[in-house]
Amino acid sequence: MEDKNVKDTVRQIFTEYLNANGHRKTPERYAILDTIYSIDGHFDIDTLYSLMADQENFRVSRATLYNTIILLINARLVIKHQFGNSSQYEKCYNRDTHHHQICTQCGKVVEFQNEQLQQAIASTKLSRFTLSHYSLYLYGLCSKCERANRKKKTNNQSQHKKEK
Amino acid sequence: MEDKNVKDTVRQIFTEYLNANGHRKTPERYAILDTIYSIDGHFDIDTLYSLMADQENFRVSRATLYNTIILLINARLVIKHQFGNSSQYEKCYNRDTHHHQICTQCGKVVEFQNEQLQQAIASTKLSRFTLSHYSLYLYGLCSKCERANRKKKTNNQSQHKKEK
DNA sequence: GTCAGTGCAAACTTTTTGCAACTAC
DNA sequence: GTAGTTGCAAAAAGTTTGCACTGAC
């Protein structure tokens, strides 16, 4: 039931945000918010689009998704990431701060937490800037790809020898 | 002349990279590398394209720019960022590690350095992952936009009062 | 001489925009 | 009733791809 509470809370936050900014409270907007808060991890617009069509049987256009997600970002209920080709989003209310570890080869994204890192970032003094949120992306090779590369390299070398 | 040295060095690193991977050493590739290393800060493909056309009077197609920049990334001479709409790149040889402060309103990007942050990130223990590089983006409002917003908000409120 | 690399244009993908229809207020 | 929203389709923006030609090896 924890989950239901979160959904109710974010709906309320969204309502307040819409009121405060003179936006209308349309069913589309709430349906989008609900769907997003039932997704774990990252998603892009296309995934969200299919998900809503399939599960919620509430069809919204892509244009509306783009419009609404901007509102949700401003309401601090969603954050936007930009790894890979398309923008990725994720819910951010009641979520622990986390960082992203991205494999430059296979594109796999792993989230991790690190108290010390968070602390270091939060305590950074910024001049003439009001921090709202941050993203830390660590790029590198996941163990799987690293192993694959080692294997490939060995093969290449033996091939080179053969050629010569 | 420091600058010339850097350009020579990166050209050499690139040559080694191309040799090691069986790629050809075309004039286009070196012209692109040279142009990139004469740019301070970030650039996108389009900027690079115009810059080469205007200044270096060496015309290369966008396709070649995309191809070459992938090689440069692999050679660790360029890194890729993804804020805003188009991918941003920057040279990375002989540059101090720095972080990015991005205004969510006007899109302005400011670089800054912070020893403590760097240390914290570098010393983070990662499981099953080989770190190659990282990006820290701090999102928020620059002082200019913040001031503008305050002004706007005040105006809106007085307008509301009038309407009522 | 060969094949990787290039330029060009077309294709593709993601996001934005213009406009008519709709509906929350 | 009216102005903010929506859906749709077209357009824009960024990137990738196919193909014929070129030039590095």
Position A163 confidence tier, pLDDT thresholds 50, 70, 90: very low
Query: In which band, very low, low, confident or very high, does the pLDDT at A30 lie, cut at 50, 70 and 90?
Result: very high
Q: Does B129 touch chain A (CB under 8 A)?
A: yes
Report in angstroms the alpha-carbon separations of A33 from A40, A53, B7, B76: 13, 14, 51, 41
User: Looking at residues A72-100, what average pLDDT do you find?
Assistant: 90
Element (H, E) at B73: helix B62-74
**For A110, nearest residue in chain B (alpha carbons):** B129
Is the model's pLDDT at A57 over the cut of 90? Answer: no
CA–CA separation, B100 vs A27, rounded Å?
38
Model pTM?
Answer: 0.84
Instruction: Look at residue A6 and tell me whether its pLDDT is greater than 50.
Output: yes
Split at pLDDT 50, 70, 90, the class of B159 is: very low
A11 Cβ neighbours under 8 A, 6+ residues apart: A30, A33, A34
Residue A5 Cα, gap to closest chain B Cα (Å):
28
- d(Cα B150, Cα B157) in Å, to the nearest integer? 11
**In 3D, which of B155, B139, B157, B137 has the Cα closest to residue B147?**
B155
Q: Return the structure tokens found at A83.
A: 């790894």
Which is more confidently placed, A164 or B102? Answer: B102
Q: Is A141 on the interface with B (CB under 8 A)?
A: yes
Per CB-CB distance under 8 Å, the chain A contacts of B138 are: 121, 124, 126, 129, 131, 134
Closest residue on chain A to B88 (Cα)? A82
Give the lowest-confidence range in A70-79, B28-37, B72-81, B111-120: B111-120
Cα(A130)–Cα(B110) distance, integer angstroms: 13
Residues of B in contact with A101 (CB under 8 A): 126, 129
**Separation of A159 CA and C9 C1' (Å):** 38
Give the number of other CB atoms < 10 A from CB of residue B65: 20
d(C-alpha A61, C-alpha A64), whole Å: 5
Cα A115 to its chain centre, rounded Å, is 20
Q: What residues form DSSP beta bridges with A109?
A: A102
> In which band, very low, low, confident or very high, does the pLDDT at B13 lie, cut at 50, 70 and 90?
very high
The residue among A38 and B163 whose pLDDT is bigger is: A38
**pLDDT score of B163:** 39
CB contacts under 8 A, A 94-123 vs B, are 101, 103-104, 110, 112, 114, 116-117, 120-121
On average, the pLDDT of chain A sits at 86
pLDDT, tens only, A120-133: 888 888 888 888 88
Q: Could you give the CA distance from residue B92 to residue B73 in angstroms, rounded to a whole number?
A: 9
Q: Does A133 touch chain B (CB under 8 A)?
A: yes
